[in-house]
Structure formats: C-alpha cells, structure tokens
Structure 1
Amino acid sequence: MMVPEIYHCGVKGCLEETTFYWVHFSFPRSYSLVDETEVDWSHIMKQESTYIDPAQFQLHLPRYGKITNEERLYHHLSLLNRLNPSQSPLDKLKQQSIFYECMIIIQQEAVQIPTSAETVSSEAVSYIKEHFNDPSLTLTGISSELLYHPDYVTRCMRRTTGLTPNQYLTRYRLEIAKELIIKTNQDLGAVSKEVGITDRSYFSRVFKKIEGITPNEFRRMRANESARL
C-alpha cells in the first residue's frame, strides 16, 4: 500500500509483462504509520458489539508483503475493475462492499497466529462451551484441566479471539441466556442459574454492561419484534 504525500519509486524494471491496477481509497478518520509488529485479533477488536451497538475495529494493514491466498484477492480485485466503468449507483455500492472484502483479506493475511496458539485456544473454547453452566468454572480450573499455565491460555485466546478466557466465558453464557429468554418463559433467576451464574442481580448487571440493556428490556424488545412479524 502506498501512503499518500510520500514519494514512491521502483528499484528496478519488471522482468516480465506487468499490468498495474490502482485502487485509490480514503479513510473516514486519520491513520498512523507504526513500526512493523506482530498483529493478532486483540489489536484489531477495539470494542465488542452489544445488542444495540455494533462492534468497533481498528485495522492494522501492512504497507507491503506477500499475499498467500492470491487467487481469492485477485478475484475480488477483478470484480472491482469490472464494475468500474459502470455509473449505476447499485454497482458503485457493490464496489464498496467488494473493496471492504479486499481489506478483510489483507488483514487476515497480516494476522500472525502460531498454530500452537490456535490449538490451545480451540481446546479452551471447547472446554468453556462444555462446562459454561458450572458456576465454579474459572480460568485456573480451565488451565488445570488442559494442563497449561493460565497466562499462556489467556495469551493464546486473546491472539485468536480477541478475548480473554473470562470474557469469552461471560459472552458465551450471555448468548445462551439470550436464547433461553427468547425461547422460554423462565424467569431471569432460572435463566441465570442455567448458564452458571447463581446471583441474579450480578447476571442482570453483567447483561446490561455487555448488551447495553437489561434482560427484561431485551425480553420486551424481542417480544415486540415478534409481534410485528
């Protein structure tokens, strides 16, 4: 990627027939140049989504590098180029969507996650999903069962999911709780206990903090949505 307002030049001529396709784009906000560093999903996810607000991300895009999945990226770039002559508003909107897919591909290529970290994270996630309804489930317990140090499990999960084990556990419990609130008539105390949170007041506070609304407000909103269908 070429940074604007900086002089760029090649170091030697091309040794084979080469065609350039330039994609010009702008940022809605300012950007900054940083020294090369390892990037994982904990750098990119800045704020998780709630029921009322979308997630927020900060892309870390390399200025140069090698694309391993060339065919996928070239396919999207060719679609961009094919739509370029069109003056149709619909095609221009499609271009925006395709361009964003290109940015996601480049970001995926830049994320550096060792296979060992992915393995540990996968084991931890599986264990959390299997034992989430255990009120005594803790990071120490998860790490002990998986035979890893708690700090190592935390680092691996942050690199692959952007979340710590405790954050992932809380998120997963709330996802199950939302399903129960929508699909059953259980009171909130029963829902809370079923997902491994014994204190109903604490459950409501955590739900409000993460989703932006209380469990009762969530239930009413979903009921109103269903009634309009």
Structure 2
Amino acid sequence: MSYLQFSVPPIPHYLNVGEVTYLPGERHPNRRNIGVFDILFVSRGSLHISEDGAAWKVSRNEALVLCPDGHHFSVEGCDEVTHFYWLHFNAEHWRQVAAPQHFQTDPFERSTLRQNRFNLHVPKYCRLPFPERTFTLLKNLMIMMDQPSSLARWKEQSIFQDLLQQLMEMEESRSQSAPGVIAEKAALYLRQNYKEQIDYEKMGRDINYNPTYISRCMKQVFYCTPLDYLKHYRLEQSKMMLINTDFHISAIAEEVGFPNVSYFTKCFKEYEKMGPRMFRSKYRALTTKRWDISD
C-alpha cells in the first residue's frame, strides 16, 4: 500500500469541495500539475483513474488521493452511472512512501524547545471505514460553502480534519492488529521496567510471548528492535534528568538502566551528537533563557 506522508506543522489546509455524476462512458478529465491535492470519494459506481503510471478502479465507498504535481486521467469510461465527491486541499511538507515512517517530537523537545512535530499518514487509495459518516461530512462541507462567516470557515477546517482522520483509520487499524497489540504490550512493558536489566528471554516470559515473535512485531509496528526501543526510551529519560536534576552523569546512567557510564556516554553521543555534560550545559542555559524572556 502507498501512503501520503505529511510533516506537521503546518497541518493540511482545506480549500473546497464538490460533487459530480458521470453517465456510462463518461470520463474524468485529463489533468496535469493541478497544484492541489484532490481526494475522490466514490458513493456510486466506479472511476478508472491513472496517475503517473499507476492505475486504480475506485468503486463505491472507496477513496483515492491525487497529488498536486501528478498527471491523472481516466483510463476508460465509467461502466455505470457514477457519483463521487471531490475535495481539494493544500499541504506544504509531504511525500509518497511505501510504508508509514512514524515520527513525533519527544517529550523533551515539546517541553523545552517548544516544538510538537509529527507525521500523518493517509493511504493513497483505501476503502472508507465509515462511508456514511464520510459522505455526511462532505455534504456538510458543501452546505457551509454558502455561509459567509469566519466561524463557518473555521468549522470547515474542523470537518476536513475529521475527514482526514476517517482516512487515517486505515493506518490506525494496522496497529490494532495482532502484531500491533503485541508490539504495544511489549513497548509498555519496556517503559514500565526500563530501569531494570532486560533481555529478550525475560521479556518473553513476563508478557507470555515468544521473544522472536515479539521482536518481529516491534519491527513491523515501531521499525526497531525491542532493545533499540528500550535504549531510545532510556536516553529520553536521561535527557530529562540532565535538565531537571543535579545528579552526576554516572548516577543518571545507573538510574535509567545503563550498565555503566562509559556505555551510556557512547550511546548518548551517537543519539544526540554531543556528550551528556555538553547537553546539560546547552539546554539548561536555553531553558533558563526562555524563562527569563517569559518573565
């Protein structure tokens, strides 16, 4: 499955919406570089659409997202009377990916650097998980186009975000599959026990799953091994302690579960491109400066 990955902020921005009905034999227009994203929501019949060498038959209760810089057209006419809604929106930072590349700002950056960045993933083509709800939202958008108030414009954006969420349910459902449930259970176990010495065998016994299967599930859902996830989480906890406590570096290393300070320092430098002492000095000064400005 192909996905459109949006780096947020800024969030994708709704522009306008409409609906079209084609008779048998009629085709979607041949367009190139239209400059906006165009989502087709089919409520009846089917569309035969090609974009940049790929082709889809978009049938009832399905959706396809066309890209602003692509070339799309109908490869054949409609087989039957076909009705669909179209929706245009803009987004600044995006790309197509074969699989979701999950990213979000860690708690340290959110609290200290005042940043909250993350990726959204919308399937290029999907079956609508809640078609009736989706079509109701589209109809509401069409009604609101004739309302001149600023509040209406705000509500349009809110409805659009709800529509995007409907599409993202496809990606969310993946994490609720059996591998997703096991990966989440393993991740929770690692977060709750990160101060302890953990290996695959112990984790497998404690959460009652085969260690090899746990590792495969975490790679599928989090794109890393359990031990890599654990190391990353320990480093995130150490960053908070470096900023908020006066503990010695060796004490912090022991507190977050590293076997010795040398290995902790090595991992920290690989992760942050600076040592823990330099990190503490840099971000304590930055945090103090920000508080001084706010005062």
**1:28-107 counterparts in 2 under 5 A?**
31=96, 43-45=99-101, 59=121, 61-68=123-130, 71=133, 75=137, 103=164, 105-107=166-168
After superposition, the Cα gap between the structure-2 partners of 1:208 and 1:77, relative to the gap in structure 1 and judged at 3 Å, is: farther
CA distance in 2, matches of 1:209, 1:185: 23
After superposition, the Cα gap between the structure-2 partners of 1:22 and 1:122, relative to the gap in structure 1 and judged at 3 Å, is: closer
Matched, 1:12 2:77: no
CA distance in 1, matches of 2:254, 2:165: 39
Greater share of helix: 1
Per the alignment, residue 230 of structure 2 pairs with 169
Task: Quote the offset at 1:144 in angstroms.
Answer: 2.8
Per the alignment, residue 209 of structure 1 pairs with 270
After superposition, the Cα gap between the structure-2 partners of 1:217 and 1:158, relative to the gap in structure 1 and judged at 3 Å, is: same
Task: Quote the offset at 1:169 in angstroms.
Answer: 0.7
Per the alignment, residue 126 of structure 1 pairs with 188
Q: Does the residue aligned with 1:22 lie in a helix, a strand or coil?
A: strand
After superposition, the Cα gap between the structure-2 partners of 1:24 and 1:121, relative to the gap in structure 1 and judged at 3 Å, is: closer
Q: Does the residue aligned with 2:178 lie in a helix, a strand or coil?
A: helix
Task: Specify which of 280, 284, 291 is matched with residue 219 of structure 1.
Answer: 280
After superposition, the Cα gap between the structure-2 partners of 1:70 and 1:122, relative to the gap in structure 1 and judged at 3 Å, is: farther
Q: Does the residue aligned with 2:262 lie in a helix, a strand or coil?
A: helix
Deviations 1:106-154 (A, max 9, x none): 24424524542233223312321232112x3112321132232222101
CA distance in 2, matches of 1:146, 1:62: 36
> Comparing both chains, which one has the higher relative contact order based on Cα–Cα distances under 8 Å and sequence gaps of 6 or more?
1
Task: Quote the offset at 1:190 in angstroms.
Answer: 0.4
1:117, 1:156 within 8 Å by CA — same for their partners in 2? yes
The one-letter code of the counterpart of 2:242 is: I
Per the alignment, residue 194 of structure 1 pairs with 255
Task: Quote the offset at 1:61 in angstroms.
Answer: 1.9
Q: What are structure 2's unaligned runs of at least 5 residues?
A: 1-63
2:100, 2:121 within 8 Å by CA — same for their partners in 1? yes
**1:139-158 counterparts in 2 under 5 A?**
139-158=200-219
Greater share of strand: 2
2:105, 2:116 within 8 Å by CA — same for their partners in 1? yes
Structure-1-length-normalised TM-score: 0.68
After superposition, the Cα gap between the structure-2 partners of 1:73 and 1:207, relative to the gap in structure 1 and judged at 3 Å, is: farther
User: How many pairs does the alignment contain?
Assistant: 212
After superposition, the Cα gap between the structure-2 partners of 1:146 and 1:217, relative to the gap in structure 1 and judged at 3 Å, is: same
CA distance in 2, matches of 1:20, 1:78: 12
After superposition, the Cα gap between the structure-2 partners of 1:196 and 1:77, relative to the gap in structure 1 and judged at 3 Å, is: farther
2:191, 2:233 within 8 Å by CA — same for their partners in 1? yes
1:77, 1:102 within 8 Å by CA — same for their partners in 2? no
CA distance in 2, matches of 1:143, 1:203: 25
CA distance in 2, matches of 1:218, 1:101: 40
